[in-house]
Each structure stands twice: as structure tokens, then as C-alpha cells.
């Protein structure tokens, strides 16, 4: 199947970034969010990103105008009816995601359409079982910021059609130009299963007063050749995202390495979420 019509559910940071990628690669894209304010915020985010692309010489004004013409924003989920690929990028709440997949199952008319989730860690099989077509449900995990980060994790559940997974993998590499890795439907998949314990270990070191955030980050940059230290990286990922991903993995595995540190929990309670809120462990994002 040649994928020409795509849909994105949610136009926050991740959803708008995914929609931008799809539109730039020539697809007709419908983006849906829950209300007009969310839709307008998503539209403005994409327009700002395109404007920066033109300013920096990464895309022409003609390409920008073409991509914007292929983007359609709505609050109506039924607009997904004719889509061949729908990527769910709603908030990391299992109940919300299950409801979306159940609704998409009754709305999307093409039985061969692919229903994908951008979840960072939640079990794909649970979303699949909310539909009557579990073999067409898969994980398609982009990384933030989606237009810049090259990686996409493709996650097959026990019920996913292997041929469909291969098809989506090929589309992601050949059409979207991304690098893909394949994962089983395990907690945290590949990247977050490795990343979250690392970030939490750094936060616990800071919390215990063993080192400053600057020294922790400098140590990993200069001692381990990491491009960014773990405290700064947590801010960039989003402290709320780190918390929810860690909590999800911990609930499934019971591994204490994935239990969110108390300091992280308090940061999230305070609304100090990192780059997205303008302040996290560091306060130089404004």
C-alpha cells in the first residue's frame, strides 16, 4: 500500500512535529486535537517551525507553502475516516489512548489502514485490543523534536501483522527519511528501557547532594563522550514525560531503577517541566 493520506491525533510538541514531517514529505495530513485553542496552538507551532526552516535555508518558501497547504487542522475525529495511516500522539494516559483507538476503529474505513501509537513506553497490545483489527495496530515512537531527531522505534505487539510492520518500517525509512529500530512490546521498548534508569540515577545523585548538576553533566559529556549530560537531557525530554515513562515501566516491571525519584515528582508537581515550561533543573530556557 502506498501511503498518501495520514492523520495525527494530538498537536502538542510531538504531534505537531510528526505532522510537520509527514507534510514536508508530500503526504496529505489531517491533525486533530480536542479544542480550538489546542488546534490553533499546534498550527502556530508548525508555522513557526516552517518559518525557521526558511530563514535557515533548510527549505524554500515554495516548499513551506506546499507543506502548509497539505496540512489540515480539526477538532473532529471523524476527519480520520479516509486516512491510510493514523498516528496517535495524545498525552501519556492509557485510558485516553485506549478510547482514541476504539473510536478510530469505528471511524477509519480502510481495513488495511495502519493505526500507530507514539507512546514512549505503554504496551501496544492494550491499544490493539481496544480495536477489532489488532493486527493493524503498532507502535511508531518518534523522538523529540521529531523533525530533527532521526530515530523512530517500530514496536510490534504479539498481535501485530509482521508484514504490516515491515511495510511501516520501509515507509518510515524510504519516505520519511528516518532511521528505524525494531522492538518487541516490552516496557520502555529499547531506548527508554535503557535511558530512564540512567536519567533517574543522575537525578538521585543530585538529590542526595553527591554532586552538582553541572558536574554530573560535565562528567558524562567529557568522560563518556555524551553530547548532552543526563540532567540537561531530562529537562529537554520533559520532566513530566520522564516521570510518566518511568512510572509506567516501574508499574509493569517492579524494577526500582525505574521508580521516579522524589525530587523529580516534586518538580513535576511544581510545573517545572524543563524546556517546555521554560524552567526545570536548569532555568536558562526562557
Residue/partner pairs of 173-180 with CB below 8 Å, 24 or more apart: 175/3, 175/25, 176/21, 176/22, 176/25, 176/152, 177/25, 178/142, 178/150, 178/151, 178/152, 179/150, 179/151, 179/152, 180/151, 180/152, 180/153, 180/154
Candidate list 120, 121, 156, 157, residue with the active-site label = 120
Pairing of strands 179-184, 151-156: parallel
CA–CA gap between residue 100 and residue 108 (Å, rounded): 12
**Alpha-carbon dihedral 195, 19, 9, 234, rounded to 10 degrees:** 20
**30, β-bridge pairs:** 7, 72
The answer to whether residue 192 is catalytic is: yes
Compute CA distances 107 → 103, 138, 161, whole Å: 6, 18, 21
- Asked if residue 60 lies in contact with residue 54, where contact means CB atoms within 8 angstroms, the answer is yes
Q: Check if the beta carbon of residue 92 is closer than 8 Å to that of residue 244.
A: yes
Catalytic residue of the set 156, 192, 248, 258? 192
Catalytic residue among 20, 117, 153, 248: 153
* Annotated catalytic residue within 16, 88, 141, 258: 141
Q: Which helix (H) or strand (E) holds 61?
A: helix 61-69
Q: Cα–Cα distance between 274 and 48 in angstroms, integer? A: 20
Active-site annotation holds for 20: no
Residues annotated as catalytic are 120, 141, 153, 192
Amino acid at each position: 500500500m502506498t501511503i498518501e493520506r495520514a492523520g495525527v491525533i494530538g498537536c502538542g510538541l510531538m504531534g505537531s512535529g510528526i505532522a510537520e514531517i509527514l507534510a514536508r514529505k508530500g503526504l496529505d495530513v489531517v491533525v486533530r486535537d480536542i479544542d480550538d485553542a489546542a488546534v490553533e496552538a499546534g498550527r502556530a507551532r508548525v508555522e513557526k517551525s516552517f518559518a525557521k526552516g526558511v530563514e535557515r535555508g533548510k527549505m524554500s518558501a515554495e516548499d513551506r507553502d506546499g507543506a502548509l497547504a497539505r496540512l489540515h487542522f480539526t477538532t473532529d475525529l471523524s476527519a480520520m475516516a479516509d486516512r491510510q495511516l493514523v498516528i496517535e500522539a495524545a498525552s501519556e494516559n492509557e485510558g485516553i489512548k485506549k478510547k482514541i483507538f476504539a473510536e478510530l476503529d469505528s471511524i477509519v474505513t480502510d481495513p488495511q489502514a495502519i493505526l500507530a501509537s507514539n507512546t514512549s513506553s505503554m504496551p501496544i497490545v492494550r491499544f490493539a485490543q481496544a480495536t477489532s483489527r489488532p493486527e493493524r495496530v503498532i507502535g511508531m515512537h518518534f523522538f523529540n523534536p521529531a523533525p530533527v531527531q532521526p530515530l523512530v522505534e517500530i514496536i510490534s505487539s504479539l498481535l501485530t501483522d509482521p508484514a504490516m510492520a515491515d511495510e511501516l518500517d520501509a515507509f518510515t525509512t524510504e519516505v520519511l527519511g528516518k532511521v528505524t529500530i525494531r522492538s518487541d512490546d516490552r516496557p520502555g521498548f529499547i531506548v527508554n528501557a535503557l535511558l530512564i534508569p540512567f536519567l533517574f540515577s543522575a537525578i538521585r545523585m543530585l538529590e542526595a547532594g553527591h554532586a552538582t548538576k553541572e558536574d554530573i553533566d560535565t562528567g558524562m559529556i567529557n568522560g563518556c563522550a555524551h553530547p548532552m549530560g543526563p540532567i540537561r537531557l531530562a529537562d529537554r525530554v520533559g520532566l513530566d514525560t520522564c516521570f510518566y515513562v518511568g512510572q509506567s515501566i516501574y508499574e509493569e516491571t517492579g524494577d526500582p531503577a525505574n521508580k521516579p525519584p522524589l525530587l523529580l515528582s516534586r518538580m513535576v508537581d511544581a510545573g517545572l517541566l524543563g524546556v517546555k515550561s521554560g524552567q526545570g533543573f536548569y532555568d536558562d530556557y526562557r
